[in-house]
């Protein structure tokens, strides 16, 4: 039976890179069907809502989403659509792989790290945040639960096992944040005991930053809480040449959403020069998630080979090509 995927093209460069990515998926002939729905600015203009009900319904039904970047209108009291989607579908694990690609201006070669970030709690639950009326004081809660810590750590270890990886690093700050980070560490240690085949290491977040910059090759899979994961995953992207090649998956029990880490790039929207590789790599993550490992590998290898050959690349990769020209080069290599 063919799998149906909900596709949100997104705003800014979203439609351009989504079109290129869907062309690559079609060329792989992997028997997928696509249901196109709107969210973000496109939806606001058409339906007066950032997240219309038919979009939510489509995600509920299909459970798999390929999503272009969404613009959250600034200063109009709108909540981030990305955050709303994560909350609505309880997408608790944010999975961000970074991989050195030969031919890019990266700081390191042979880096291959997956950061798994808890996506629903920690410091990002702004519910009880407050600023005193005179502006002298602000307060915001950090919440860590056993359930949240357990499911994200389990996801990281299962991923490590599935992908034949050797080590998971638990990143924390339990020496200072004894209550919240301490609970995360306790729970994740318990989970680690169920995976004797995977090496488990513990590391304090500040030391992790230093070690990532000095010798990233010692890392394999990292699992951590929301705020630390947000920062570490961008640091990891920086090690391999920035956000242009960084995909991310948001995984929940009933739904999974795959996207590029970058935003809608309004400065280059419509200029036909946006780099589609991050979204294509997200599509490869999607294919792996639904068990199409063979197609995922073919897509990844074609992207890496195209960049390595410097073939028809977009300006951000140092070429003078376009979204369509790099897509053509990748598709020819499939």
Q: How far apart are CA 24 and CA 217, in angstroms?
A: 31
Q: How far apart are CA 31 and CA 90, in angstroms?
A: 28
Say which entry of ligand NAI, Mg ion, none residue 230 contacts (CB below 5 to 8 A, set by partner kind): Mg ion
Say which entry of ligand NAI, Mg ion, none residue 82 contacts (CB below 5 to 8 A, set by partner kind): ligand NAI
Say which entry of Mg ion, ligand NAI, none residue 123 contacts (CB below 5 to 8 A, set by partner kind): none
> Which of these, 62, 96, 114, 25, lies nearest to 296 by C-alpha position?
25
Q: Mark residues 263-302: x for contact with ligand NAI by CB under 6 A, - for none.
A: xxxxxx-----xx--x------------------------
Does 122 contact ligand NAI by CB under 6 A? Answer: no
Which of residues 9, 71, 224, 306 is near ligand NAI by CB under 6 A? 71
Q: How far apart are CA 325 and CA 79, in angstroms?
A: 36
Residue 124 annotated among the catalytic residues of the structure? yes
Say which entry of Mg ion, ligand NAI, none residue 281 contacts (CB below 5 to 8 A, set by partner kind): none
Q: Which stretch binds ligand NAI (CB under 6 A): 149-157, 202-210, 259-267, 281-289?
A: 259-267
Structure tokens at 147: 């359930």
Torsion angle of the four alpha carbons 240, 242, 243, 245, in this order, in degrees rounded to the nearest 10: -40
DSSP string, 42-70: HHHHHHS-SS-HHHHHHHHHH-EEEE---
Phi, psi of 20 (to 5 degrees): -60, -40
Does 316 contact Mg ion by CB under 5 A? Answer: no
Query: How many CA within 13 A on the CB side of residue 241?
Result: 23
CB 68 within 8 A of CB 43: no
Cα separation values, 49 from 42, 44, 56, 79, 240, Å: 9, 4, 12, 11, 37
What minimum distance in Å lies between the beta carbon of 142 and ligand NAI? 23
Residue 206 annotated among the catalytic residues of the structure? yes
Does 70 contact ligand NAI by CB under 6 A? Answer: yes
Q: Mark residues 214-233: x for contact with Mg ion by CB under 5 A, - for none.
A: ----------------x---
CB 235 within 8 A of CB 246: no
The single residue of 230, 311, 316, 328 carrying the catalytic annotation is 230
Q: Which stretch binds ligand NAI (CB under 6 A): 91-99, 167-175, 185-193, 257-265?
A: 257-265
Q: Which residues are catalytic?
A: 124, 173, 206, 230, 234
Q: Which residues bind ligand NAI (CB under 6 A)?
A: 13, 17, 69-72, 82, 244, 259, 262-268, 274-275, 278, 316
The binding site for Mg ion (CB under 5 A) comprises: 230
């Amino acid at each position: 039976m063919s799998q149906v995927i909900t596709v949100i093209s997104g705003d800014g460069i979203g439609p351009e890179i989504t079109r290129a990515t869907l062309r690559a998926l079609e060329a792989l002939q992997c028997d997928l069907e696509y249901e196109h729905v709107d969210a973000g600015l496109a939806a606001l203009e058409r339906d007066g809502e950032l997240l219309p009900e038919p979009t939510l319904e489509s995600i509920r039904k299909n459970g798999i989403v390929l999503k272009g970047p969404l613009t959250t209108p600034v200063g109009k009291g709108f909540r981030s659509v990305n955050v709303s989607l994560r909350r609505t579908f309880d997408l608790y694990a944010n999975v961000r792989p970074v991989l050195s690609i030969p031919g890019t201006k990266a700081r390191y070669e042979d880096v291959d790290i997956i950061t798994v970030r808890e996506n629903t709690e920690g410091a990002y639950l702004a519910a009880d945040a407050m600023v005193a009326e005179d502006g002298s004081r602000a307060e915001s809660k950090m919440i860590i639960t056993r359930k949240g810590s357990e499911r994200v750590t389990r996801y990281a270890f299962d991923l490590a096992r599935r992908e034949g990886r050797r080590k998971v690093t638990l990143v924390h700050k339990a020496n200072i944040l004894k209550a919240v980070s301490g609970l995360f560490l306790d729970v994740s240690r318990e989970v680690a005991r169920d995976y004797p085949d995977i090496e488990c290491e513990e590391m304090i977040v500040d030391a992790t930053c230093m070690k990532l910059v000095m010798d990233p090759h010692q890392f394999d899979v990292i699992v951590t809480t929301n705020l630390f994961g947000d920062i570490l995953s961008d640091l990891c992207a920086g090690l391999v040449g920035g956000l242009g090649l960084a995909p991310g998956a948001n995984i929940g029990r009933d739904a999974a959403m795959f996207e590029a880490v970058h935003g809608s790039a309004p400065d280059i929207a419509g200029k036909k020069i946006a780099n589609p590789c991050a979204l294509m790599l997200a599509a490869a993550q999607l294919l792996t998630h639904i068990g199409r490992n063979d197609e995922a590998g073919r897509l990844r290898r074609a992207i890496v080979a195209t960049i390595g050959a410097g073939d028809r690349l977009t300006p951000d990769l140092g070429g003078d090509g376009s979204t369509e020209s790099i897509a053509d080069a990748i598709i020819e290599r499939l």
